[in-house]
Structure 1
């Protein structure tokens, strides 16, 4: 089931173009943020004219923004149809998470020895904020993203970090779906993994931190991958029931 296609202008309240920011980058940044934070939901249509009007832009920068977001896996473009926010796809999920499983541990391993005291302090603060926010799913999603990206920030591998951040953006709707399925036992495991990762980073132990990050991603891949496959099968079964020519 798709979310409503009605796009409220309220979602752009307070959005401002930064000094020197190009129109195309502004449109891309705003739409990316709204997709990542879940304001624009998977399957929701994105009308260029409506977005352009609400952001005070022409259609050209919005069109360019949608093309960029398609390359990032956040938007689907179909000729002669409105763009749509990318939906959950089990095959895409597996591809993204298997790449994350290999790339992020490398970034964490290279980052750990280089983290400054100030960077470690921020990682500790983010971990504590997550601990105090488990009853607020959206806040946890944002904090968790910031926490893991912070653990990699000192890798001194800018191309790798750009790629990792793109994967985090394009997999945010998967993570949101995962967060909606976790129970108390899952939260306990996540908390333990976060604690172990912080401890390894404090020790500047890159190999240990990398192994913890790898296990963390793998567990999510296995758990959510099974859930997505089950959801996909339920949708196929429901579709076959609706269109079964033998039914009267």
Structure 2
């Protein structure tokens, strides 16, 4: 096959422990939105047909995989940052837009980092930093929800030939759609942070859990403080008792000295 053209700032992921996927990147003033797949067993390149809402060209983006889904965040084309967070179903090679941001926000940046973590047993995406005219240090969180029982809304009917090779290498009976929790208003609901806005909790479940954790930690610290305070009072009382005993012993010593002086005087007279 034909390998990707020379580039940098692309994203890469491995699917089914066999396929290496390369997306986007840039070369000089040109940015790409092409998708290349390397079969690690045959070491042959292919350029399959992409389905769904194909992302705009970008470089400097970050990506992580959650199951069969490859999330792409940020990036830019040397003119502006990419505002859409997109996800690729690596079995069907179908793209969909997860969420988007408006304006010149830190999330639409090049060179940001992205990891997947776990909160309450659920996957969350965490991004940090980036550059979109200036460097930033914001932390942003998105919580996706995956439901394997749902049918794919993008891929209906037979798969194209360019997709079938990757699709057949995985479980062909499972059609996993990248799903996100949707509220009554039809907007994506992110229980950690809405549209990656830093430190703003909109879903009550996660915020309540965090508050409960903070409250428990506060109570534990208060309990430890009270125990230390009680121990300090006990030590002060013991110190006061020791000082009182020391005073009594000193008085007894002075009395014995007085008696000894009297006996010495009497003996001298004798």
Q: Give the TM-score normalised by structure 1.
A: 0.23
Larger Rg: 2
Which structure shows the bigger proportion of residues in strand conformation?
2
Larger relative CO (CA 8 A, sep 6+): 1 or 2?
A: 1
Which structure shows the bigger proportion of residues in helix conformation?
1
